[in-house]
């Protein structure tokens, strides 16, 4: 009985964390990039890719983040989705750390926060979301 309760708790935690993670992607995509409600995101893109491309690529990144939300919620290939998220988060934050630390909300500390978020994604997919047939 205790094992079953533990499995149900893990499933619920996984579901809640999955929606939280998906919501982070959705809010950043729509509000910060597509609607440009946080101009700092566009400034970061301008710094890295150039002013001429900033508007276009900021919106492209925002739309990609919205698609990430859809991918997470769809649960299609969730392991590959988690690996993709972790890779993108770490790569994006290393680039920002190197080229635009003064534009980041928490400066160079953003990289640490990104690693925490990537760790949360890892924990959610590879610890909480044990698939049938996986060895414990």
Expressed as residue numbers, the domain containing 120 is 7-127
Flag whether the pTM goes above 0.75: yes
Lowest mean pLDDT among 31-35, 69-73, 130-134: 130-134
In this prediction, residue 130 carries a pLDDT of 77
Is residue 132 one of the residues assigned to a domain?
no
Is residue 136 one of the residues assigned to a domain?
no
Is residue 80 one of the residues assigned to a domain?
yes
Q: Which residue has the higher pLDDT, 71 or 130?
A: 71
Is residue 13 one of the residues assigned to a domain?
yes
Write the burial class of residue 106 (CB in 10 Å: 0-12 exposed, 13-18 middle, 19+ buried): exposed
In this prediction, residue 2 carries a pLDDT of 60
pLDDT at residue 96 tops 80: yes
The average confidence (pLDDT) of the chain is: 93
At residue 136 the predicted structure's pLDDT band, cuts being 50, 70 and 90, is very low
State how far the Cα of 50 lies from the Cα of 15, in Å rounded to an integer: 39
Tally of domains in the chain:
1
b/e map 40-59, b = 16+ CB within 10 Å: ebbbbbbebeeeeebeebbb
Is residue 135 one of the residues assigned to a domain?
no
């Amino acid at each position: 009985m205790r094992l079953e309760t533990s499995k149900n708790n893990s499933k619920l935690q996984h579901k809640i964390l999955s929606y939280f993670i998906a919501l982070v992607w959705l809010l950043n995509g729509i509000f910060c990039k597509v609607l440009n409600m946080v101009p700092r995101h566009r400034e970061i893109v301008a710094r890295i890719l150039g002013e001429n491309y900033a508007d276009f690529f900021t919106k492209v990144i925002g739309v990609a983040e919205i698609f990430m939300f859809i991918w997470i919620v769809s649960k299609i290939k969730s392991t590959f989705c988690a690996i993709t998220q972790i890779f993108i988060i770490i790569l994006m934050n290393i680039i920002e750390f190197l080229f635009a630390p003064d534009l980041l909300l928490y400066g160079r500390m953003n990289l640490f926060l990104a690693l925490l978020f990537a760790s949360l994604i890892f924990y959610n997919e590879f610890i909480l979301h044990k698939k049938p047939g996986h060895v414990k």
